[in-house]
Amino acid sequence: MTHIIAVTACPSGVAHTYMAAESIERAAKARGWECKVETQGSIGLENELTAEDVAAADIVILTKDIGIKQEERFKGKVTVRVAISDAVKRADAIMEKIAAHLAKAAVTD
């Protein structure tokens, strides 16, 4: 099973952070993938990713509109950076690109 983890954060740390998290989770689960999203909003880190979450992840999605706290956790992982607006509005397209990448990687392994 494919495991996706993500961290969402936006400059104001309010609505888009949580809208992006919901959108990513919904799009990943629609494909039958495991997904956990950490939010870094105005009230701090929520649903914090564990070392086990990171170790099990096939792909890491990070929003790029603002710096992600503790980004060094993802060193060595395949990482996709997306705009917060794309995470909210185009999560299905992001998952499509990830699926294509994973399929290509499976062929070369």
| Catalytic residue (one of 4, 9, 10, 19) | 10
CB–CB of 49/3 below 8 Å?
no
Active site residue 35: no
Task: Name which of 58, 76, 12, 59 is nearest 39 in CA terms.
Answer: 12
Task: Name which of 47, 41, 33 is nearest 98 in CA terms.
Answer: 33
Active site residues per annotation: 10
